[in-house]
């Protein structure tokens, strides 16, 4: 079967929740079918990162957009009546490539990850169209609006409404929509009652030989993209309300904050004794192996916290 995969970022290495999910799907499809993969990203993957993906695909197209170009695209989309999100991921080069691939011979299936990039596939010819929402993004923006002060609150409310419109539009134009769990499926069905929505959980690979005995040192750890607002808020909450209590009871305790692109408010915790902020790491498993306790104080019912699945799989 000829399958086109359209992704909002390059799926390898699978160091984020969305990358882990899309990488798992790619592996499953690439081992059984002919796959063409197209995506946008903020940086060009290295040759080592491209290698595993090319082994699974007939063709791979990655289009790099700078943060400035993405922000400009988002603003233009808002001014045109769309959402910031769809403008942030839009790319004419990718759209042209999809059209060229589709013209050669229609695809038997189109698999799109996230409604944010679905508009780019308008012109793709495919017999079957599948959209993996994973979770309902408009609900995240509603939550952000409740926690933010004006004028951000007003911006987030507008984005929530525009993204909800995008999600309804996208759901109506796909044969099947996927959600990560039953809670997200219900949210999507309320938003788009006519959509066919199925639940597909995010699988996590467990080491067949186990992970050895648990560590004995008092090490507490967190994992995630440390530029993602819910993770940033979780670090701040833990640092202000929990870490001081831990230090009083266990002065020798250590706190590991593991994840890519930590913002300033996360990096500041690394100046405290016993706290390490790693930034991007090639493999999270050695850090998970050090943790006696894994914590994930992210608030709200946002999809599935893939970091929890990864931690559980690590023992």
β-partners of residue 59 are 36
CATH code: domain 219-313 is: 3.40.50.2000
Find tokens 């790319």 and name the residue.
Answer: 91
Return the pLDDT at 115. 96
Kindly give, in sequence order, each residue whose CB lies less than 8 Å from that of residue 138, ignoring residues fewer than 6 positions away: 160, 161, 163, 164, 167, 191
Nearest Cα to 159, choosing from 227, 77, 91? Answer: 77
| Number of CB atoms found within 10 A of residue 10's CB | 23
CATH code: domain 2-199 is: 3.40.50.2000
Kindly give, in sequence order, each residue whose CB lies less than 8 Å from that of residue 272, ignoring residues fewer than 6 positions away: none
| Residue range 122-180, pLDDT digits in tens | 989 999 999 999 999 999 999 889 988 999 999 999 999 999 999 999 999 999 999 99
Distance between start and end Cα atoms, the chain: 38
Nearest Cα to 192, choosing from 169, 174, 213? Answer: 169
Return the pLDDT at 214. 76
The b/e string for 46-72 (b: 16+ C-beta within 10 A; e otherwise) is eeebbebbeebbeebbbbebeeeebee
- C-alpha to C-alpha distances, 176 to 53, 95, 114, 169, 314, nearest whole angstrom: 25, 22, 13, 13, 33
Return the pLDDT at 255. 97
Structure tokens at 94: 């990718």
- Residue-level pLDDT, tens digit, the chain, 315 residues: 999 999 999 999 887 888 889 999 999 999 999 999 999 999 999 999 999 999 999 999 999 999 999 999 999 999 999 999 999 999 999 999 999 999 988 899 999 999 999 999 998 999 999 999 999 999 999 988 998 899 999 999 999 999 999 999 999 999 999 999 999 999 999 999 999 999 999 887 766 555 667 788 999 999 988 998 889 999 999 999 999 999 999 999 999 999 989 999 999 999 999 999 999 888 888 899 899 999 999 877 665 677 787 887 776
Given this chain, do its domains 2-199 and 219-313 carry the same CATH topology? yes
Kindly give, in sequence order, each residue whose CB lies less than 8 Å from that of residue 122, ignoring residues fewer than 6 positions away: none
Residue 117: DSSP 8-state: G
CB 146, CB 160: distance < 8 Å:
no
Sorted by where each begins, the domain ranges of the chain are 2-199, 219-313
CB 66, CB 42: distance < 8 Å:
yes
- C-alpha to C-alpha distances, 306 to 180, 203, 311, nearest whole angstrom: 10, 9, 9
């Amino acid at each position: 079967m000829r399958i086109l995969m359209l992704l909002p970022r390059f799926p390898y290495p699978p160091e984020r929740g969305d990358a882990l999910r899309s990488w798992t799907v790619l592996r499953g499809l690439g081992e059984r079918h002919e796959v063409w993969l197209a995506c946008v990203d903020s940086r060009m993957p290295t040759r080592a990162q491209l290698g595993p993906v090319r082994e699974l695909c007939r063709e791979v197209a990655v289009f790099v957009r700078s943060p400035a170009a993405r922000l400009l695209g988002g603003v233009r989309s808002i001014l045109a009546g769309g959402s910031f999100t769809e403008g942030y991921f839009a790319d004419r080069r990718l759209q042209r490539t999809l059209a060229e691939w589709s013209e050669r011979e229609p695809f038997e299936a189109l698999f799109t990850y996230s409604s944010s990039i679905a508009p780019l596939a308008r012109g793709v010819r495919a017999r079957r169209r599948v959209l993996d929402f994973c979770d309902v993004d408009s609900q995240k923006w509603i939550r952000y609006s409740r926690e933010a002060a004006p004028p951000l609150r007003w911006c987030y409310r507008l984005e929530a409404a525009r993204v909800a419109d995008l999600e309804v539009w996208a759901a109506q134009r796909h044969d099947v929509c996927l959600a990560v769990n039953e809670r997200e499926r219900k949210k999507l069905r309320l938003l788009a009652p006519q959509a066919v929505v199925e639940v597909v959980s995010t699988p996590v690979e467990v080491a067949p030989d186990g992970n050895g005995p648990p560590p004995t040192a008092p090490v507490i750890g967190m994992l995630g993209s440390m530029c993602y607002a819910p993770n940033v808020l979780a670090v701040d909450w833990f640092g202000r309300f929990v870490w001081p209590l831990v230090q009083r009871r266990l002065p020798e305790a250590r706190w590991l904050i593991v994840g890519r692109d930590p913002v300033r408010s996360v990096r500041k915790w690394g100046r405290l004794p016993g706290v390490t902020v790693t930034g991007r790491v090639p493999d999270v498993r050695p850090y998970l192996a050090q943790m006696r306790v894994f914590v994930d104080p992210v608030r709200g019912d946002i999809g599935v916290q893939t970091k929890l699945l990864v931690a559980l799989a690590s023992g």
